[in-house]
């Protein structure tokens, strides 16, 4: 773990970090696989792609691009229908964000979800007020683990990478943050085990959301 640091800019992944959307994501995956393949692969095949855009994830299971497009449509329709019922914020997140805002920190979301759906999730969980800046999959051409979405968020905030930290639950988040030149923190309340996150070499570990505020100046 890196030596104690304090930051002025906090970038957050969305799913598995700010909001517990894992039940929704897995239900959407299983429904899509049953509909288009007639069988559901092991959950680990889908979880490995958490943190990356939807279409490339589904293309791995599709026969061709047209089949992948139909799978995307099915997945999104199921997600839209069940979104509000299966979504909630993690305990302690709202308080942590309030503490960061009270300390004068800048906040942004960096997600591989589309901008509109990410905004809907934040609103459903009562977190939208904290984030004036959100970078979604349709806001950039390259996606995590590429640094582009992290750099886009820093640009929107006019923030110094040396004074920023990216908090996420997947190895893709950590890799993107490191490539963008910011400090990174692994959120251990998400779906990835510590050993998987450790391979991406996060600078910091966060056991629970209540630990986030201690990183603010």
Strand partners for 107: 10
Task: Tell me the HSE value of 169 on the side-chain side, using a 13 A CA sphere.
Answer: 27
Q: For residues 149 and 138, give the distance between their C-alpha atoms in angstroms, rounded to a whole number.
A: 10
Cα separation, 32 vs 85, whole angstroms: 18
CB 123, CB 85: distance < 8 Å: no
Considering 13, 20, 139, 169, which one is annotated as catalytic?
A: 13
Let me know if 65 is a catalytic residue.
Answer: no
- Smallest CA-to-CA distance from 111 within 176, 27, 186, 199 is with 176
Distance CA 5, CA 22 (A): 30
Burial of 49 per CB tally in 10 Å (0-12, 13-18, 19+): middle
Residues taking part in catalysis: 13
């Amino acid at each position: 773990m890196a030596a104690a640091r304090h930051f002025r800019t906090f970038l957050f992944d969305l799913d598995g970090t700010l909001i517990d959307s894992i039940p929704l994501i897995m239900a959407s995956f299983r429904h899509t696989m049953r509909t288009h393949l007639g069988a559901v692969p092991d959950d680990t095949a889908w979880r490995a792609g958490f943190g990356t855009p939807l279409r490339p994830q589904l293309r791995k299971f599709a026969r061709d691009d047209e089949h992948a497009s139909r799978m995307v449509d099915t997945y999104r329709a199921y997600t839209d229908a069940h979104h509000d019922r299966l979504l909630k914020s993690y305990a302690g997140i709202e308080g942590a964000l309030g503490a960061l805002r009270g300390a004068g920190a800048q906040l942004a979301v960096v997600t591989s979800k589309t901008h509109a759906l990410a905004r809907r999730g934040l609103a459903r969980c009562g977190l939208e007020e904290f984030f004036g800046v959100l970078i979604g999959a349709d806001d950039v051409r390259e996606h995590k683990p590429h640094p582009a979405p992290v750099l886009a968020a820093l640009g929107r905030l006019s923030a110094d990478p040396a004074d920023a930290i990216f908090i996420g639950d997947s190895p893709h988040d950590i890799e993107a943050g490191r490539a963008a030149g910011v400090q990174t923190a692994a959120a251990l309340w998400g779906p990835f085990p510590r050993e998987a996150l450790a391979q991406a070499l996060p600078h910091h570990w966060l056991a629970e959301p209540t630990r986030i505020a201690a990183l603010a100046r």
